[in-house]
Structure 1
Amino acid sequence: MSTATDEILEKLKSLTLLEASELVKQIEEAFGVSAAAPVGGMMMMGGPAAAAAEPDEVQTEFSVILEEVPADKKIAILKEVRAITGLGLKEAKDLVEAAPKAVKEAIAKEAAEELKKQLEAVGAKIAIK
């Protein structure tokens, strides 16, 4: 280290907390920087790769989406949708014909997987989102 940096370091060691706080404010103003810790922490340092590594919020609610209804399987799918949703014949028919459409929303993952199996067993194309 140079003697200039050694002298600065020694002076910094002798500052009180109040003086150090004032020094930080002056440095921020003089150089247009912030001494605040970044909100994302590692995101600032690692860029997109670090952002992808951080865990996202864990999804707890899922929707079962009826993506596609083959014409030859429509009646079987309609019956299954009625059994799952409790809808009347007309409402269930409207739902099936409006595909892609949510059959059930905001349910647990296990329940969503079970409904997907039931609907796929009768020929529907299902997505869980």
Structure 2
Amino acid sequence: MIENLAEQLVNLTVKQVNELALFLKKKYGIEPSNIGLVTSGDTSISRKKEGGKESEKEEKSIFNLILKSSGNSKLSVVKLVKEITGKGLKESKELVDHLPKVLKESVDKKEAENLKNKFEEIGAEVELK
């Protein structure tokens, strides 16, 4: 049970983490603290005993979706950017006009791959970092 809960917490999006923090504060009076929290930049947990090197077997699970090129179908890319980001048509067009741009941050692997495939199907170039 604890393992499943930990898995769910690790896979939360930034928006979901913020919603959880607000819920815990309102319902239980619990406020988040930075003490003892592990951030995505803290690699001490994922280090091996041999020389403190990061484990090469561990796979990255959180990605930023970066649009590098709109390809030949700019209008389709603008529409998809609008759908994914929730921005207006004008903001989405401006985003596509000034590449490369980060479209989404802290996306889990499955969603990132899905979004990347959608963009590649319409001829856009996307990078996951």
Q: 1:108 to 1:41 in 2, by over 3 A?
A: closer
1:69-108 matches, cutoff 5 A = 69-70=70-71, 72-108=72-108
- Alignment RMSD (CA, Å): 2.5
Amino acid at match of 1:86: G
Amino acid at match of 1:97: D
* Sequence identity (%): 37
- 5+ residue gaps, structure 2, are 1-47
Distance 1:58 1:68 in 2: 26
Shift of 1:66: 0.3
Structure 2 match to 1:64: 65
Larger Rg: 1
The structure that is helix-richer by fraction is 1
Measured against aligned partners, the alpha-carbon deviations of 1:10-50 in whole angstroms (never above 9, x if no partner) come to xxxxxxxxxxxxxxxxxxxxxxxxxxxxxx8532xxxxxx9
Secondary structure of 1:110 counterpart = helix
Q: 1:114 to 1:41 in 2, by over 3 A?
A: closer
- 5+ residue gaps, structure 1, are 1-39, 44-49
Measured against aligned partners, the alpha-carbon deviations of 1:69-112 in whole angstroms (never above 9, x if no partner) come to 22x31111111111111110111011111111111111100000
